[in-house]
Amino acid sequence: MNRSDLVRHVSRQTQHSQAQIETLLDLILDEIATLLLSGDGTLTIRNFGRFEIRHRQGVTRRNPKTGEEIKVPSKRAVIFQPAKSFKERIND
């Protein structure tokens, strides 16, 4: 399923237009991104999971073909940790 499929599916279930659902989805995703980029950097959605930004240290890797060392810089990454109830739903 992609974004268009999701919008179409939610539109059918809620009897709202696809344009309304698209706007709502944009607003929600923008708010999630804004929250994650703010100082707190954590969003918890009950019975679904937690999104947070974590810092990943820079590392040195080796190119398997040439043996050359490559430095991978440190960066921030978004991590999703599913809630216990969500994990249980997946595994049932």
> For residue range 70-85, what is the model confidence (pLDDT) as tens digits?
999 999 999 999 999 9
Q: SS3 for 50?
A: strand
Instruction: Evaluate whether 43 touches 34 at the Cβ level (below 8 Å).
Output: no
Quote the CA–CA distance of 83 and 50 in Å, as a whole number: 7
User: Above pLDDT 90, what percent of the chain?
Assistant: 84
pLDDT band of residue 11 (cuts 50, 70, 90) is very high
CA 43 vs. chain centroid, Å, equals 10
Q: Scanning the structure block, which residue is given the tokens 């969003």?
A: 43
pLDDT, average across residues 29-51: 90
| Stated pTM of the model | 0.72
Report the half-sphere exposure of 49 (CA within 13 A, side-chain side). 13
Does pLDDT of 40 surpass 80? no
Report angle CA 83, 85, 88 to the nearest 5 degrees: 110
**Per-residue pLDDT tens over the stretch 12-21:** 999 999 999 9
